[in-house]
Amino acid sequence: MTGFHIKPALLQIHSVLGLAAALVLASMGVTGAIMGFEDEIQAGLDASLAHVTARSDAPLAPAELVARLQADPDAGKVAAITLSRDPTAAVHIRFARGENGGRPSSVLVDPYDARVLGTPRGEAFFATVRRLHRWLLLPGDGNGAGRQITGATVLGLVILLITGLVLRWPRRAGSATSWLKPQLGLSGRGLHRSLHTVIGTWLLPVYLVMALTGLSYSYNWYKDGLTWLLAAAPPPMPKAPREGRSESRPEPKPMALDLVWATVLRETGDRFAAIQITLPAAGTTVRVRAWPREAHDGVRDEFRIEGATGRLQAAERYADKTAGERVLARILDIHRGSILGWPGQLVFMLAGALMPLFSVTGVLLYVSRRRLRRPPRPSPAIQLVPGE
């Protein structure tokens, strides 16, 4: 089949997919742009709450912080603790989900006396934006229909990018300048087409990176494929011992957070700026993440620690990862462009904010193309009155 016959078919595919995905893509683009500088915005909003006066006394250990907070009968169950080595930084405490399944609330706490300073500003807003971005606020969140819709939409975006590039490919090498320069002096359909195609060409690499990384949050098979492609084969996991009869099972040991903290300090030393301790909802394994100074979210070490004894069960150090494993660890940094620093974040944020432009111009181009294809209406026959 010649290119003359292929391009009309690709245009039809491009148009139908674009119409079907226009609204969802616009929503995901805008919400992604809003979250582009979420950390920086949160830090600015919480500047007055997140800082305390440094004291000569040592900060409270996590076990003492949790004990003082849990002494309040109205407080929820502590689910995670984020501490900073900065002596003027507040401790971020996140609580477990309530019985209604709502999003956990969190508070900022004085590390020296466990005094609650307040609730982080904007946290609920960004949580809603994130749910809209990933699951369209549909029931079930990650287990509902929203995840399937956004996943299928991102797959459609990949097809839109490929078909758009083929349709846009210049016929002559000398036409590349006009191919990459928007014609802002046009109006109507010509302007819509120029904006849609030229700006889309410039942003195509950004959208492709967003789509190929975003799919790992929608489909387990895609995430497993990336892991198989980029990561070394993990060592076989030891088989868990069989459980006996319920009456012979040993009683679970109480959580010894002081032993966990001692193991964390032994493994991390003074190399890290922030440490997050996530307490188990079930079982006794505590998950710990440790970030070095001036690091992005994906550059971190992770540990699994037995909560009752403080025994180190597993350690994943970023410095020991292969290049492929580092890519997997920083998939979120790649997705939002922060792997390139704030200039990358800015470019990716602007690309997300411009997504509605392609939805609107794509719909306008489709409507105008349909109008041009309509056969002209026959003009009514002129009846002459005798004598005229």
Specify the pLDDT at position 148: 94
Q: What is the mean pLDDT of residues 264-284?
A: 89
pLDDT band at residue 383 under the 50/70/90 scheme? low
pLDDT band at residue 378 under the 50/70/90 scheme? low
pTM: 0.85
Predicted confidence (pLDDT) at residue 281 exceeds the cutoff of 90: no
Among residues 211, 210, 206, 204, the alpha carbon closest in space to that of 166 is found at 204
DSSP 123-182: HHHHHHHHHHHHHTT-TTGGGSHHHHHHHHHHHHHHHHHHHHHHHH--SSGGGHHHHHS-
Structure-block tokens of residue 317: 């150090």
- pLDDT tens figures, 164-216: 999 888 666 556 667 778 888 888 888 999 899 999 999 999 999 999 999 99
- Locate tokens 């009968």: which residue? 73
Specify the pLDDT at position 240: 45
50 against 104, higher pLDDT: 50
- pLDDT tens figures, 314-370: 999 999 999 999 999 999 999 999 999 999 999 999 999 999 999 999 999 988 887
Predicted confidence (pLDDT) at residue 247 exceeds the cutoff of 60: no
Structure-block tokens of residue 235: 């060592």
- Locate tokens 């992770």: which residue? 302
Specify the pLDDT at position 388: 39
Specify the pLDDT at position 215: 96
- The average confidence (pLDDT) of the chain is 86
Of the listed ranges 55-69, 174-188, 220-234, 355-369, the one predicted with least confidence: 174-188
Specify the pLDDT at position 380: 58
Specify the pLDDT at position 387: 47
Specify the pLDDT at position 4: 56
Give me the numbers of helices (H) and strands (E) for the chain, helices first please: 14, 8
DSSP 165-232: HHHH--SSGGGHHHHHS--TT--THHHHHHIIIIIHHHHHHHHHHHHHHHGGGT-HHHHHHHHHHHSP
305 against 183, higher pLDDT: 305
Q: What is the mean pLDDT of residues 227-232?
A: 88
Report which secondary-structure segment, H or E, holds 3. helix 3-34
With pLDDT > 90 as the criterion, what percentage of the chain qualifies?
A: 60
pLDDT band at residue 243 under the 50/70/90 scheme? very low
Strands 272-278 and 106-109: unpaired
pLDDT band at residue 235 under the 50/70/90 scheme? low
252 against 280, higher pLDDT: 280
Predicted confidence (pLDDT) at residue 241 exceeds the cutoff of 50: no
Among residues 90, 139, 80, the alpha carbon closest in space to that of 114 is found at 90
C-alpha triplet 104, 109, 114: angle, nearest 5°: 120
Predicted confidence (pLDDT) at residue 104 exceeds the cutoff of 70: no
Predicted confidence (pLDDT) at residue 304 exceeds the cutoff of 70: yes
DSSP assigned state of 385: P
Which amino acid belongs to residue 176?
A: A
Q: What is the mean pLDDT of residues 134-155?
A: 94
Specify the pLDDT at position 384: 47
